[in-house]
Amino acid sequence: MNFTGFNINFLSKLLAIPLLSGWGYSEQRARCLSLKSTLVLENTTILDVSYVSGGSKLKPHGDCVPKVRKYNTPTVATAPLCRVQFSTNTSDTSSIRAEAWLPDEWYGRVLGIGNGGLGGCISYRDLDYGSALHFATIASNNGHDGDTGRPFLGNPEVLNDFAFRSIHVEAVIGKQIVEAYYEQPHDKAYYLGCSTGGRQGTQAALNHPADWDGIIAGAPATDFNRLLHWSGTLARHLGAPDSSSPSYISPASWKLVAEEILNQCDGIDGVRDGIITEPDACHFRPEALLCSGTNSEKCLSIPQVEALRKIYSPLYENGELIYPRFDPGSEGIRGDLLNGKFPYYTEEWLKYVVLNVTEFDFSQYGPEHGRLSQELDVGGISTFNGDFSAFRDRGGKFLTFHGRVDGLIASGNSKRLYDLISRTLMMPSLDDFYRLFLVPGMEHCARGPGAWAFGQHGGTQGAHNESSHNLLLALVDWVEGGVAPDTITGTAVDGSTRVHCRYPMRSVWDGSAYRCEA
């Protein structure tokens, strides 16, 4: 066994749990393959079972061709493991396709994996990540293949899988597969997801509080209907889908805007490093870019400046806050909120789920569509409810994080959810069971100029298998050792690190380093 790099808490817990030590290779392989005929689970068909030696290249489940994410590129299973592919009927008209990766060296832990966007795609990257860290890891296709909303049209049960059911099936069926294979029940169950996966994790804590002992819900797409409406509205401010609109802002002009925002706000935190630690302290004045004479590429027109004012303000309709503002500093994002197109996810959702049509003219998009989406709340997708009492009372632990240059989901929404839970449970601090880390310079779930890598998904653990630098290991320490993470240290692309603070603490530069202050 190779424990190099694990911190002491994690290690000592590992040693307490029996492994499959008694089995030799051929015995283990035979045991694995026998699952094909011996596993009998409710509503479930075992599609394939294979024993995989460490470092093997695997063929992903075939027909998932996501538009945005490339989850199903051929993947490597780092750990030797038993791979179980299965399908579970969730109703007469819906089913979930999933995989369980059961490592030879198992420490009693189950890990459920979330999805992204409107997917639709099994995250092989995270199956590998979890199983390499000795979790029996389960991931699913969220009830449909691909990253479009088309499968939802006329299929409310498929939508229900996406909205709340697939992660529950991972928990229920996954735990049974684990127990059958290892001949003993699991000890603790964890969940890991970001974006839609963050919403799924939040939904799980609210609706199936017994499923997971610890949940990581990154950059969660909570208040989902309003999130999509906000995205559509931002795009409309820029004239989308008409890129010849006078308020359209070209990529070159966005560069100007980004530079001017840094010019005005980078120094507020005490360091001009290209990162705005607290975007909420940045009161960007776009009129600084207003053309004085004739329009040119180096300045902005009045309609453009007006669009920017709206984008960098919270969205209110009829006096009601719909969604927090776009974080200044997030202009460099990939994704289609600001590029003059109508945002893909809002488009798919409105057509296939809200209006139940295949065509829609998005130049007609307006507040009434946001209201309709919110009123129907199909599948209970909104996931914006502060009542975490059942999850808290059973001892569940919840970790969430949000990048401050997330150009798809405003980080202010995670503060807003924290405050909603706090008010609902009448707990001024949620520290006992719920911690939110705000991450300066982090884009959506990963990337960006900040120190954004902290084990939030496969490929982000770098050289740091320690709970101080890895959120998943930190969660294990919290659930099993009672040691809650006060901070999390992220690693940037250049290898530098930064300590991230839990809300509502602030990250303050003291002249030589960032510290967290109340």
Using CB under 6 A as the criterion, which residues of the chain lie in contact with ligand NAG when the complex forms?
4-5, 42-45, 89-91, 132-133, 156, 159, 169, 172, 354-356, 376, 378, 461, 463, 465
Tell me if 88 sits within 8 A of 98, measured CB to CB: yes
Q: Is the dihedral of CA 141, 143, 146, 147 positive or negative?
A: negative
CB of 51 to ligand NAG, least distance (A): 19
240: how many CB neighbours lie within 10 A of its CB? 25
CB of 321 to ligand NAG, least distance (A): 25
482: how many CB neighbours lie within 10 A of its CB? 9
Question: Should residue 269 be labelled a site residue for Ca ion when binding is judged by CB under 5 A?
Answer: yes
Q: Is 444 a catalytic residue?
A: yes
User: x/- site string to Ca ion, residues 5 to 34, per CB under 5 A?
Assistant: ------------------------------
Q: Cα–Cα distance between 158 and 152 in angstroms, integer?
A: 6
- When CB distances are held under 5 to 8 angstroms depending on the partner's kind, the choice from Ca ion, ligand NAG, none that residue 357 binds is none
Region of 168-176, 204-212, 262-270, 340-348 interacting with Ca ion (CB under 5 A):
262-270
Question: Should residue 271 be labelled a site residue for Ca ion when binding is judged by CB under 5 A?
Answer: yes
SS3 state at 322? strand
Q: Cα–Cα distance between 248 and 231 in angstroms, integer?
A: 15
Question: Should residue 281 be labelled a site residue for Ca ion when binding is judged by CB under 5 A?
Answer: no
CB of 269 to Ca ion, least distance (A): 4
**Residue 182 β-bridge partners:** none
Question: Should residue 290 be labelled a site residue for Ca ion when binding is judged by CB under 5 A?
Answer: no
Question: Should residue 104 be labelled a site residue for Ca ion when binding is judged by CB under 5 A?
Answer: no
Q: Identify the burial level of 515 via C-beta atoms within 10 angstroms of its C-beta, where 0-12 means exposed, 13-18 middle and 19 or more buried.
A: middle
CB of 450 to Ca ion, least distance (A): 10
- When CB distances are held under 5 to 8 angstroms depending on the partner's kind, the choice from Ca ion, ligand NAG, none that residue 487 binds is none
Q: Cα–Cα distance between 99 and 83 in angstroms, integer?
A: 7
Q: Give the 3-state secondary structure of 21-44.
A: CCCCHHHHHHHHHHHHHHCCCCCE
Residue 90 vs 330, nearer CB to ligand NAG: 90
Question: Should residue 147 be labelled a site residue for Ca ion when binding is judged by CB under 5 A?
Answer: no
Catalytic residue among 104, 147, 213, 406: 406
Nearest to 439 by CA among 451, 421, 447: 451
Residue 53 vs 263, nearer CB to Ca ion: 263
| Interface ranges with Ca ion (CB under 5 A) | 266, 269, 271, 273, 275
Q: Which residues are catalytic?
A: 195, 406, 444
